[in-house]
Amino acid sequence: MLTAKQHELIRFIQQRLEETGISPSFEEMKEALDLKSKSGVHRLISALEERGFIRRLPNRARALEVIKNPEDSTPIPRSAPAVAANDRVVAAAASAPKAAPEPANDVIEIPLHGRIAAGAPIEAIEGQSSLPVPAALLGPGEHYALEVSGDSMIEAGIFDGDFALVRRTNTARDGEIVVALVNGEEATLKYLHKDGSLVRLDPANASYDPQVYGPGEVEVQGKLAGLLRRYH
């Protein structure tokens, strides 16, 4: 027999799968169950998994499948196949004759366009590779990634070797961190400030001076949307 919280959680997961095909995040589950921390969610999920009510889908972040009905502890009917085309797993809905929408992969691939300076401008190198990024780090719009080179933005928490996640746009407000293309050939990551017809690119490191450019010398290529850091 399930506890009240286990029962509440499994119903919440099933409802989300039926409505959107996407497993709820741990934060969403914590809020829905009015828990104080995500560790409580982890314990509930582990207990449900051990008792055979849910299972985690391999190689997918935040993907769960409800496999047993909590009301009568019977397996959920599988009249619809559990594996769809291209070997993608879908969740079967307990109350519907057809399968619920496919649980979405929470990691997406965005283009990785080489290195960008967080110091003196360097050439932005176009690359052919891609970078897997948690979808939660990205908002709407088209995104790409650049590897940061230099230390001029360390006071903004941006370090050499970080991956800047950039939303593609050609406009930005004063004070936003942008990818700026200088004189059509060099790219840098800086705070953007406009002073009349001039554009000032400010570092976040007291060891570096602001860079001031005239009309038409700076083109905004995108705005910083997030950072990805690898620890070795």
* Complete domains list, the chain, with CATH: 4-87 (1.10.10.10), 107-228 (2.10.109.10)
Are 62 and 106 a contacting pair, CB within 8 Å? yes
Active site residue: 23, 30, 149, 190, which one? 190
pLDDT in tens, 112-169: 887 787 765 555 555 558 888 887 778 788 898 888 988 999 999 999 989 999 999 9
Closest Cα partner for 92 from 109, 74, 105, 115?
74
Work out whether strand 218-228 and strand 163-167 pair parallel, antiparallel, or are unpaired. antiparallel
Altogether, the residues listed in the chain come to a count of 232
* pTM for this prediction: 0.53
* Annotated catalytic residue 149: no
Are 177 and 188 a contacting pair, CB within 8 Å? no
Q: Please provide the DSSP assignment of 140-158 as one string.
A: SS-EEEEEEESSTTGGGT-
Beta bridge partners of 65: 55
Report helix, strand or coil for 116: strand
Active site residue: 129, 152, 194, 207, which one? 152
Residue 12, number of CB atoms within 10 A of its CB: 15
* Annotated catalytic residue 190: yes
